[in-house]
Amino acid sequence: MRKRELKNIEWSIGIIAIILCIIGLVALFSATQEANYDEFNKQCVWLIVSIIIAIMIMMLDYEAMVKMSPIFYGAFILLLVAVLFTKPVNGATSWFDIGFFSLQPAEFAKIFVILFFTHVTTKIQERDKRSINKPISLLILLAIFAVPVVLIIKQPDYGTAAAFLVAMIFILITAGIDKKYIIGTMIIVVISIPIIYHFVLPDHARKRIDIFLNPESDPRGAGYNIIQSKLAIGAGGLTGMGILKGNQTQLGFLYPKTTDFIFAVIGEEMGFLVAGTVIILYVIFLTKCLYVAKTAKDEAGSLIASGITGIFVFHMLENIGMVMGLLPITGVPLPFISYGGSSLITNFICIALLLNISGKRQKTIFVK
């Protein structure tokens, strides 16, 4: 990278990501003591690997990655098909078990679907930016996201599928989609919700929604996890019960405490002050991501940054919301904090792309 690009980079995005990772490691250290810190040790390794990969991605030209995206898009569609034939883990065929590492292709697919979607969108807009609002153009763009989303739903992994949809919405809004399509979609969604609930969703998905609305209806079954999560957060108070001292965390009532409910561990053992700080850090982080999208040097950079922001917005809101009982449980990880190699590496590749895009911009253009 040239000196000017290094100076332009929005380093605060990377710094906040590292701070969140440190808080996550502290929570994982406490949550894994009865398992000899196995997941904590692995997460430390994946953090180092993730940072190395992120540095490598930063050295690449994101425009070149956009041009190559059709190849990667096709490859990951094949992986999403192949993973459906693997052995189910917790009822889902989402991972390739390669011994030392469980590869979750849906996580990495987020990046390359966003890059390919950006590639096609910019091609459509080359002659006329308004051409994105033509029905045939929208159908093509929707199909790009529909293929991986359908395959991910088949696993089933509704949380990750929803993250794809949020990313698509962010990109389309940035690309200048007409408001009539947004309003029309909102009306269709509102009308479709009861139909989808009664006739489309499988039993286990409907049960999650029912439990979200009334967890006490099955306190020893489907409502158990959310009840324990809220008890953990409530017990933490202002300053927390202390690392390695949380009742729900250490006595095994909170599950899965290293992935889906890691924020409950933070709330119980580190208290409202640290949990609130995590939320504030995410808000600053997302604001900086949007700023990168706004100040990108070209349309491609703006669309990529918007899509990545959409991914982070969904994961942050959904994970923290479900842990606090404000949203249905979908099993999505909390970025940079939850345990998981695929998730952490994907998050840092997204960070690298954001830093890459911010480095290419001309800051002086936006100074009055």
Backbone angles phi, psi at 200, to 5 degrees: -110, -50
Confidence (pLDDT) at 362: 65
Confidence (pLDDT) at 367: 39
Neighbours of 231 (CB within 10 A): 16
Instruction: Render each residue's pLDDT in the chain as its tens digit; 368 residues.
Output: 567 777 889 999 999 999 999 999 999 999 998 888 999 999 999 999 999 999 999 989 899 999 999 999 999 999 999 999 998 887 788 989 887 778 899 999 999 999 999 999 999 988 777 788 899 999 999 999 999 999 999 998 989 999 999 999 999 999 999 888 888 888 988 888 888 877 777 777 787 788 888 888 778 877 888 999 999 999 999 999 999 999 999 988 988 899 999 999 999 999 999 999 999 999 999 999 999 999 999 999 999 999 999 999 999 999 999 999 898 888 899 999 999 999 999 999 999 999 999 998 865 444 33
Domain limits, the chain: 3-361
Q: Give SS3 for 102.
A: strand
Residues in the chain: 368
Q: Residue 89 pairs with which residues in a beta bridge? A: 92
6-12: Cβ within 8 A, 24+ apart: 6/359, 8/358, 8/359, 8/360, 8/361, 8/362, 8/363, 9/355, 9/358, 9/359, 10/288, 10/291, 10/292, 10/354, 10/355, 10/358, 11/355, 12/284, 12/288
The closest alpha carbon to 159, from 117, 116, 192, 205, belongs to 205
